[in-house]
Structure 1
C-alpha cells in the first residue's frame, strides 16, 4: 500500500526516515512543532496516510482534512492535544511512543531533585559571575522521603533511581500496582499522607479531568515547608498562580519545573525572579537515545499499519 507520511517533530531520527522510505513511503516534514501552523498542517495532511505529530494541537477539523489518514502517531506519550475521540470515530488509529522516553524523563526528574536541593544552577551562575559563596548551605537527598505521584513507567523508573539514595519511597496512584510496590520497596499511601511526609514530591500523572491543576493552594499547604516539588509530566497539573505564591511566601522549600501551562514561556514569566526554583524548557525526554527510540516506534507503527497489523501502542481510551 505505502503512500505518504507527514512528520512535524524536527527531532524525528534519520534512521526512522530510512525505515519508512524502505517500506515505500514518501516522507514530508512540516515546520517544527513550535513553528508549524494549522494552515500548513491542513494543506499537507490532505494526502497523508499517516501523521507523526508533536505537541502541536490537532483538532477535529485538521484530522478531517486528512482524507486518506489512517494513523496518527504521537511523538511522545501525552495526547491531550489531539482530538482522539474524533479520530477514533473516523476509524483513524492513534498511537503513542510508550516506554521510549521513560529512562530520559526519569533521569531528568532525578537531576531536577539534585539541582533544586543542592542549588546547582545558582552556584553555576555565581562562579561565572566571579562570586564565591561556599557559606551557603544546601540539602542532601540521602535517606529522604520521596513521594511519587503516578506510578506508570516513568514513576517506576524514578523509584528505581531514587532507591539508590536509600530513600523512603511513598507513592500515590489511582490504580496502584501492589506487586511492583512490594518488589521495589515502595509504599502506597493516600495523597494527604504523601504530601505531609515527603521531602520531594515528583509528578508523573497523566493529564485528565481529575488531575488538571491537582497541585493547587490546598495541595501545596499540605506539603512540608522544606519540601521540593518536581514536575516533568504536564504543566497543566499545576496551578502556577498558587505555586508562585507558595514559593514567594516560602511555604514550601522550592520547585523544579520542566513543563508549564503555556509554552514557550513569556518574557515576563514571574518565576524568573525567584531564587527557590529551577526552570528548564520541556526537555526531559530530549536525549539522543530517547529521540531515536521514539522515532523508530512511530515508524514501526506506520509500517504495521501498512501491513494490515494492529498498532502496538494505541491510546488506552475507547469509544
Structure 2
C-alpha cells in the first residue's frame, strides 16, 4: 500500500480558518446588516485578540452588534521592530453587547535573538483565549455623564513548544498562564475624546511570549498589578488618532541575573502612537509607531525596540 503523508494545519492556519468560517457564517445573517454602534466606538483588535486599542483591551465589546445582536470581528496584524517581528491573527465574538469571546494566535520572529542563542529562525508561537463581560455602564448612552463603561476580562495564554523550552525551564518560567483585568472606558462624545484605563493582574513575560513568572535566584513569581492607559481623539466620525501605554512586569530580570546575564532579560513598558480609519462599520485599518522597550537586551545591545504596526479588522 502506498504511504500518504498527512500535513496538519499550523495554529496560524487554524486561526485564519476560524476567521474565514466566522466571517462566512455571520455574513449570511440579516441580523447583522444594521447595528447601533458608531464608527470606531467599539475599538479595534488588540494583539491579544480582545477589542480595544492595538496594545490594551478596553471595556467595549468586540464586533458591531448592539444590544440584542451578535457580532464578530476578525483581524490580522503585523508589527516590525529593529530586531523582532510579530504577526497576530484572531477573532472576537460579541454577544448582546454584553459578553465577548476571543481567540488570538501570535507568531513572534526572534530574528537577532534566535541567532545569538544558536537558534536561527526561532519563532515563538502563542495562543490566547479571552473572555470579557461588561458589568456596568454603556459608553454611548452614558457619554453625557461621568459614568464609564466597565468590563472585567481574562486571557489564558499558552506558549507552544519551541527551542526555548529548556531556557524557560532553567529560569523557572511557565509556558502558560492567565491574566485577569478590569477596564473602564469613558467616551466624551461631544468632545470627540475616548479615555480607557485597564488594570491587569499578570505574571506574563513580554505578554507571555517569554513564558510566565520566574523562580531562578528567588525571583518574584507572583502576580503583579500593571496599569494600561489609552487616549483617542475622534477627528471625524471615521478617523481617530491616539496613544497607548501598557505596563509590563519585569519578572525575568532577577532570574537572568542569577543565570549570569546581568540585566540581559530586563523588560520595559510598551507604548504606541496610532491612527485608525473606519471607512465603514465593517472595516477598520490601524497604523502605529510602537516602542516596546528592550526585549532580551543581552542579545540586542540594549536597543529600544521601536518600529511600526499595521492592522486590518473586518467586522460582521
Q: TM > 0.5 between the two?
A: no
TM (norm. structure 1) is 0.32
More strand by share: 2
TM-score normalised by length of structure 2: 0.32
Greater relative contact order (CA < 8 Å, ≥ 6 in sequence):
1
From the two aligned structures, give the one with the greater helix fraction.
Answer: 1
